[in-house]
Amino acid sequence: MAPASSRLSPGRAARTAAAILLLATLGPLPAQASNFEHQRGLFHDASQALERKQITRFRQLLRELEGYPAQPYLEYDLFRRQAHKVKPAQAERFFDRYADYPFVYHARGKYLSALAKRRDWENYLRVWDSRENTRLQCFAFQARLELQRLDGLDDEISRVWLRGYSQPSQCDAAFAYYLENHADPDTVVWLRIEKAFKARRPNLARYLGRKLGADDQAVVETWYRAHLRPERSLKRLADVADTARNRAIIAHAIDRLARKNSLKALEFWNLMRDDFAFTQNQVDEVQRRIALSAAHQHEPEARTLLANLEPSTMNDQAHLWLARIQLRGRDWPGLLETIKRMPVHLHAENEWQYWLSRALEAEGRLVESLDLLEQLAVKSSYYGFLAADKLERKYHIEQENAASVEVDEDSFLVDNPHMLRARELFYLDRLVDAKREWFQALRYLDHDQIKQAATLASKWQWHDSAIRTVAKTEHRNDFSLRFPTPYKRQVMALAQKKELDPSLIYGVMRRESLFDPLARSNVGALGLMQLMPSTARRVARSLGMKRPRRSDILHVENNIRFGTHYLKSVMNRFDNNVALAAAAYNAGPRNVRRWLPRDEQMSADLWVETVPFRETRNYVQAVLAYATVFDKSLGQSTLMSSRMGVIKPEY
């Protein structure tokens, strides 16, 4: 086993190999940028010395790295570690010296925390930069209270107070001052309680209720129970007094119940609405919520509920779900009328232009239908491919090169120090810092330079940044940049072993992570194929492997192996229907089973369009379209519609 000092993470090993290949292709570099491979090794040694608190060794390596583009990040690491003892004058010199570096913002935040811990309020306010960070903002409030700088303070605290979710404990002193000095504290407490219930933060609302008198606390407790057990509470609320607060509680309880059982909510609403003087806004919101929930739950009554909404209360979601219900019921005349009434920004979308063409076809208006399909079929998109299939045309996937000339990498990086630093940080496996530098650099580039930057990121195999960068240009058809095929050896081998379509694997991978092997989602999904740790462990067990750690799941070989195994399992579960399998990969097989048609089979394009979760609907459409694009680069020719098939009531 290699010693710890030389062991590389999976991501770092891949980047180091790519860096070696890159350096082999580079021409002469400026003197200060020479010997990058050696300097990267020194950088890692310096990082480890700092981690081990070997400060003398660290400073020696820091001197050896003078002139290396990423060297200031070691200074930043040291500053963060020693922020608690850095003097204000030293901090200001550091901020001034590295003012152009993205890390300064984060270094300043770290120093503000250190000053607050020292209770050095004078210097805190000197360093304070009015950032949108609630914890640090509340420290600033505390500093002003301590120093009696109260001008305008109440209004600033009010903006933080009137949020419907919990705030950091650092705000407690400011909130106490605000309530003690407010002319009507009960009113602002109630305002926040109402916001908390609306934001689905019942525990916060209950906590805030303790600041009120006994009678008001009882009202908050009633609201709290209505939030948690709406059906049980509504039975009791039928006989309460007709007050503004009780009306708000009833409306909230019906909203909560509708999200789980729209028809039961409708039943309560019909029983109670005439016995209470609900405001028109409450009536509109409750009826729209019941109608939309009924649509999400595929209730037959949803169509009538949506159609009966007043035109002034129809928001985008109401228009869209009425159209989807009509689609599911093949009500083509109704769909034509609904699309006609949609706001322009919805009507003009490819989605509704496609379904308008289908409705026109069903009504025998073939010339108009074909005209719309002709316009869509030239687009390299989900609806463009659907239109091409209808017309029996070849797909319009014509490669366009983003960079009109070969990029002179040396000159480009010399002229763009942010880019040079981004590249080095990328190979040093400091991806967060690399992305900050990269996207700060893009602010200073013109259109042609952004195209060149995308080309460079792709060359370095930094695919997620290449994809995001080319998306900032009009070159949506540079498929070599937007749809690369990395990890081809692993993908093709597993595709053959699992009898999976490699284009589908790439489609899932591209949608999940943009080919970032170290991607982590907010909910904890990991790696190229965004596997939840529980799923990866289950797959590993079925493969006879030991329980994987997070680092094991992030390893490229493992991640693709686990991901393709799970993809194959959902393909098997749903008879190799890619639309259903993609939906199951995103939302789970249980949800997909709930969304299946109840009585008779339906076409996949209709089914996809009426999936209740927008995220899953968009996901399925993206995977199908991406797989079609990857077909071209992989030398395949598959109709997108053939991957979808027909959707049956049972699987």
Catalytic residues, by residue number, are: 512
- What is the DSSP-derived secondary structure letter of residue 273? G
Q: What is the DSSP string of 175-206?
A: HHHHHHH-S-HHHHHHHHHHHHHHTT-HHHHH
Q: Residues with Cβ < 8 Å from 97, sequence gap 6 or more? A: none
Q: Which of 308, 352, 359 is nearest to 334 (CA)?
A: 359
Q: Are 559 and 566 contacting, i.e. CB atoms less than 8 angstroms apart?
A: no
% helix / strand / coil in the chain, to the nearest 5?
Answer: 70, 0, 30
Find residue 646's DSSP bridge partners. Answer: 603
- What is the DSSP-derived secondary structure letter of residue 276? S
The tokens for 469 are 């960068």
3-class DSSP state of 53: coil
What crossing angle do the helices spanning 214-228 and 244-260 adopt, rounded to 10°? 20
Q: What angle do CA 52, 56, 57 make, to 5 degrees?
A: 65
Q: Are 102 and 440 contacting, i.e. CB atoms less than 8 angstroms apart?
A: yes
CA Rg, the chain, in Å? 29
**How far apart (Å, rounded) are the C-alpha atoms in residues 482 and 633?**
12
- Region of residue 315 (left: phi > 0; alpha: psi -120 to 50; beta: else): beta
Q: Are 50 and 65 contacting, i.e. CB atoms less than 8 angstroms apart?
A: no
